[in-house]
A and B are shown apart, each in its own frame.
Chain A
Amino acid sequence: MRDHLGEFEQIVLLAVLRLGDDAYGVPIRREIESKTSRALTVGALYRTLDRLEDKGYVSSWFSDPTPERGGRSKRYFRLKASGVRALADTRDALEAMWRGVDLKKVKHA
C-alpha cells in the first residue's frame, strides 16, 4: 500500500534532503523555520523524526559528543530509499491533483 505523507512529514523529509550530510536537529529546525516562516519546537521536530524513523523513511546515528553541546552527541538523519519513494509518491499524487487547476480562475463563494 502506498503511504502518503502528511504536510509536516514532507517538510521535515525535504529539509533532511536539502541539508545532506549536515542534517541534525539544529540545522533542520532552522531550515524549516526560515523556509516556511513557522516556529517549531524541538519537541515537535523530534516527535516527527521519531515517527518517520519508525516508518522506515529515515535512519539516524549519533556523532561524537562536542563540548558546545554540553558533552552531548548530535543525531544525524538521512533519507532511506523508502523515504525517497514516499516523497516521490506524495509529489506525484499532489501533482495529479493539481493538474488543470488554475487558482486565478477559481470562482469562490
Chain B
Amino acid sequence: MLRWLLARLRPESAGDLLEESAQHSRWWLLRQILSAFAPSANPFAFLWNDVRYGVRALALNPGFTATAVAALSLGIGVNTGIFSLLNGLALRSIPVPGSDRVVSVYQIFHGKMDRNVDGNESMFSVSEYEQYRDQNHVMTGVAAYAPMALVTLGGEIPRQVVAQFTSCNYFDILEERPAGPGFRPADCAAAGSGPVAIISDDLWKSQFGADPGIVGKSVLLNRHPFTIAGIAPPGFHGAEAYFASFWIPITMQHTIKPKFDAYGNANTSWLVLIGRLRDGVSIEQARADLAVISARIDQTVPGRKTSLSVDTATFASMPEMRRIVTGAGAVVLAAVGMVLLIACANVANLLLARAAGRQREIAIRLSVGATRWRLIRQLLTESLLLALIGGALGTALAYASFRSILRVLPAQLPAEFPDFALNVAPDLRVLLFSLSITVATGIAFGLLPALAASRADVKLSSGANGFLRQALVGLQIAVCTVLLISAGLLLRGLWAAQNIDPGFEMKNVASVSFDISSQGYDAARSAVFQNRLSERIAAIPGVDATARVDNAPLDDSHHGEPISLPGNPAEYRAEINYISPEFFPMLNIALVRGRNFTQAETDTDANVAIVNEATAQRLWPGEDPIGKIVIEDGKTPYQIVGVARSAQVSHLGRANETYVYFPSGPKRAVRTHWLVHGASAVSLTAIRAAVREIDPALAATVAPLDHNLEWWRTPSRLVALLAGSLGALALALASIGVYGVVSFAVSRCVREIGIRMALGADREAVRHMILARAMRPVGIGAACGILLCAAVSKILSSLLFGVSPRDPLTFSVIPLFLVGVALLAGFIPARRATSIDPASALRHD
C-alpha cells in the first residue's frame, strides 16, 4: 500500500522519504506521503471542516439525531451481538497458545462405503490417525481425540461425567501443561496400556476438594481403576467448546466401552485430528501434503474415496457441525440484517424529511457556487457521522448486554446439556464487522437522501421524493411483516410444543436408564440384573406397571435404521425399538389391528414385530399387514403380528415416521431401559435407591418421561425468544417510521387541509383522506411481506411441531396487527392536522 503510494509521488519526494524512512515509523511515512498529495498544508482540512459542520448540524437538531442514533444503534448492536456469538462459536480459533498454527483435519467420504461411525463419519480411525501422524512433513505433531464419552465416575454416589479419549501428545500439541507428570508415550503404546487420567481443574476442586496430593491417587471410571496423572490448567477445555472432566488415553477406549472396540477397528470413525503446523508451513502446503497421505490410504481400500478438510481449528471445524452452523447462522444473520434494514430505511426517511427542511440552506450553497458533489459529500459525512455514533453505541450496547444474554442462555438449555464456554469478547474480526456494517449503513441510508436533496431543481415535497419516502415505508413494513410472521409462527410452534399431545401417555411415567454394557456386564449378568431390578421396582409402593424399552419415547437415541422387505432390494429408513408387552398399555397406545407381543415371545426374542399405522400404509398400502415380513439388519426376517396407532414416539410433532417394534427379550438385556408407571407420580428417589441396592456403583438416570419434551422444546424456545425480540424491535422501528412519515406528510399539506376544511370538508373525511394516503405504502408493504414470508417460511418447519409454515391464522393476524399499529401511528398526526383552525392552516408556510 505504502509502496504503491510512494510510486505515485514525484521522484525527489519519494527519494527523500525512502532515504529517511528507516528512522521513522510507518505512520510518519503515511502522513508524509499524504502531505505530498494534498493540495493544502493540512490534508484533512476539508474532511475536518465537513465533520465539524456535520457535528454542528446534528447538534442543532437533537430530536432527529437522537431518534436516528437510537434506531441505528439498535440495528448495529443486534448485528454485532449475533456476529460475535457466531464468531465465538465458529470463527475464533480454539483457546490455546499459538492457536493460529493449530489445524484440525477431517475426512469427507465420497460415494458409498461401509464404515462404522462412533461420533461423525468425518472422523478418523486409529490406523488412519497413525498414518497422518507419522507420514506428514508439515506438522510438529498430530494429536487425536474422541470429543465426547460419558463415563461413570465411581464414588459414594456414582455419576456420569464427560470424558475425552486423547492421544498421549494431546496436551503437548495444544501447548498446555497439566500439573503433574501427564501422559507418557508408554500409555499410548497398545490397547489397555494406559490406565491413567488427567482431570479438569474444576473436577479437582469440586470432587476432590482441591487435594494437593491428588496426582498418583486412583479413581474408578466405569469400574476400572485409573491413576490420576495430572490436573489440566484452570478453564482448559481443549479443542471443544464444552468442558470435559477427564482426559483418558485412546488406548483405554475398549476398556471403558467394552460394547464396541473402536480402538482396534481400522474402519471406525471416532477420532478428530488436530496438528500444529511447523514454522513457515502454510495451510495450503499442509493441505497438499496431507492429501498425498489420504490418496495413499484410499488406494489400500477398494472403493474408498476421500478428501480432507484442513483448517485452522475452531469449535465448529467439523464439516457436519460447520454445515449446521453455517445454515443456522445465515438464517439468523438474515433476520438481524432485516432489523438493520428497517433501521436504515427509517433513518433514510428521517433524512429525506430533514433535507426538505434544509432546502433553503442547500439552495443557497448551490447558488454561491458549491458543486453538487461537494454537497453530497457534506450530506454523506453527516450520515456517516450518525452511523458511527450509532455503531459505537450499538457495539457498546451489544457487549454490555452480553453478560446477561450468556446468563439467560444456559437457563434455557436442558440440565443434561454439558457446560460450555464461548468467548464472545470483541476481537479484531468483530470490530471490523461492526465497522464495515456501520460504514455500509451510513452510505446505505445516506446516499439516496443526499442525491435527492442536492438536486437544485426538484421540489422536495412532491414527485420523486414523495415516492421514495413511500417506498421506504413500504420496505420497512414488508421486512417487518416477514420478521413478525416468522416470530408469530415460532411462537405458535412453541405453544404447540408446550401443549402438544404426542399421542401417548407421559403422565406418571418415569424413565430409568443406565449404561450397564460399559460397566462390565455380559448378557447373562445383565439378564440377572434386569430381573432383580424389575422385582425391586415393582415392589415400590404406587408402582403399577413396568415396561422394558431400548429407546424411551422422544429420547435422543432415535436415529433410524435400514429395514427391507423380502424380494425387494430397496431399503427403508425406520425407527426401531425393542419393547416388552407392557409398553403399549402403559403409554395408552392402542393396537388397531392384530395383537400385542406375548410374554412367551419376549422371553424368547421371537421374530415377530408390530408396526405403526403409518408404516403399514407406507409398506403395504391397501393390504393387510398382519402376517407380512420385514427384514432387519439385512438378514433377520420378522413377521408382523400387530399394528399400533401412530404416535409421536421418535420425533415430537411427527407421528407418521416409519416405526417398527420388536420384542425385548434376554438378548436385549444389555441395552434395556425401564419405563415405570405409577398411580400418581412415582418416587424417583425410590427408583434410584432400588438401582443402588442391586449395584451401588451404577449411575442411573431417573427422570419423569415428559422431561424428554425439553430436548424438543429448547431449540424452538431459543429461536422463538430471538425471533420474538427481533420482531418487537422491528415493530418499534417500523411504527416510528410510519409515524414520522405521516407526521411529515401532514406537516407538508397543512395548507391543503386548511383549504379543504375552509371549503366545508368534513373533519372525518379529511382525516380519512390523510390516513388513506399514509396506509397505501403500508398495505403494499404488508402484502409484499406476506408473499415473501410464504416463500421462505419453510425453513422454520422443523421448529413448528405441527403448525403449518403457512399457518393461515398467523399469516392473517400478524399483518392485521401490523396495519393496526401503523394506523395508530398515522392517526395521531392526522388528528392533530384536522384539529387546527382552518384560518391559521391557510397562513401556514
Chain A interface residues (CB < 8 Å from chain B): 24-26, 29, 41-44, 46-47, 62, 65-66, 68-70, 72-75
Contacts and interface: CB of A to CB of B under 8 A. Distances in A.
Contacts of A68: 18-19
A69 B38 CA distance: 22
Contact of A43 (B15, B20, B36): B36
A25 B12 contact: yes
Nearest to A50: B10
Contact of A73 (B11, B17, B43): B11
Contacts of B36: 41-43, 46
23 contacts: A25-B13, A25-B15, A25-B16, A29-B16, A41-B35, A41-B36, A42-B32, A43-B37, A43-B38, A44-B41, A46-B13, A47-B41, A62-B12, A65-B15, A66-B15, A69-B14, A69-B18, A70-B6, A70-B14, A70-B18, A72-B14, A72-B18, A74-B16
A36 to B, nearest CB: 15
A42 B41 contact: no
Nearest to B36: A43
A66 B18 CA distance: 11
A46 B14 contact: no
Contacts of B11: 62, 72-73
Given A26-B16, A42-B13, 19 more contacts: A24-B12, A24-B16, A29-B16, A41-B31, A41-B41, A42-B17, A43-B13, A43-B35, A43-B37, A43-B43, A44-B35, A46-B36, A66-B15, A68-B19, A70-B15, A73-B11, A74-B12, A74-B16, A75-B12
A26 B20 contact: yes
Nearest to B17: A42
Contacts of A66: 15
Contacts of B10: 46
Report the interface size class on chain B.
20 to 34
Contacts of A41: 31-32, 35-36, 41
Contacts of A46: 10, 12-13, 36
Contacts of B12: 24-25, 46, 62, 72-75
Nearest to A75: B12
A98 to B, nearest CB: 28
A41 B36 CA distance: 8
Contacts of A75: 12
Most buried by B among A69, A72, A74: A72
Interface of B: 6, 10-20, 31-32, 34-38, 41, 43
B623 to A, nearest CB: 88
Contact of A26 (B6, B19, B41, B43): B19
A17 B37 CA distance: 27
Nearest to B12: A75
A73 B12 CA distance: 6
Contacts of A73: 11-12, 15
A64 to B, nearest CB: 11
B193 to A, nearest CB: 63
Nearest to B43: A43
A43 B43 CA distance: 10
A46 B13 CA distance: 8
Most buried by A among B19, B20, B41: B19
A105 B13 CA distance: 46
A47 to B, nearest CB: 8
A42 B10 CA distance: 11
Contact of A72 (B15, B31, B38): B15
Contacts of B35: 41-44
Contacts of B16: 24-26, 29, 42, 69, 74
Contacts of A74: 12, 15-16
A73 to B, nearest CB: 6
A69 B19 contact: yes
A42 B29 CA distance: 10
Contacts of A25: 12-13, 15-16
A7 to B, nearest CB: 14
B683 to A, nearest CB: 84
Contact of A69 (B15, B32, B34, B37): B15
The 6 closest A-B pairs by CB, nearest first: A72-B15, A43-B35, A41-B35, A69-B15, A75-B12, A25-B16
Contacts of B38: 43
Nearest to B13: A42
A68 B32 CA distance: 18
Contacts of A29: 16
Nearest to B14: A72
Contacts of B13: 25, 42-43, 46
Nearest to A44: B41
Contacts of B31: 41
Nearest to B41: A44
A73 B15 CA distance: 7
Contacts of B20: 26
Nearest to A41: B35
A92 to B, nearest CB: 29
Given A72-B11, A73-B11, A75-B12, A43 B19 contact: no
A62 B14 CA distance: 13
Contacts of B32: 41-43
A93 B782 CA distance: 79
A42 B20 CA distance: 11
A43 B42 CA distance: 10
Most buried by A among B12, B20, B31, B35: B12
A37 B61 CA distance: 43
Most buried by B among A29, A46, A62: A46
B254 to A, nearest CB: 67
A68 B22 CA distance: 10
A69 B18 CA distance: 5
A57 B511 CA distance: 100
Nearest to A46: B13
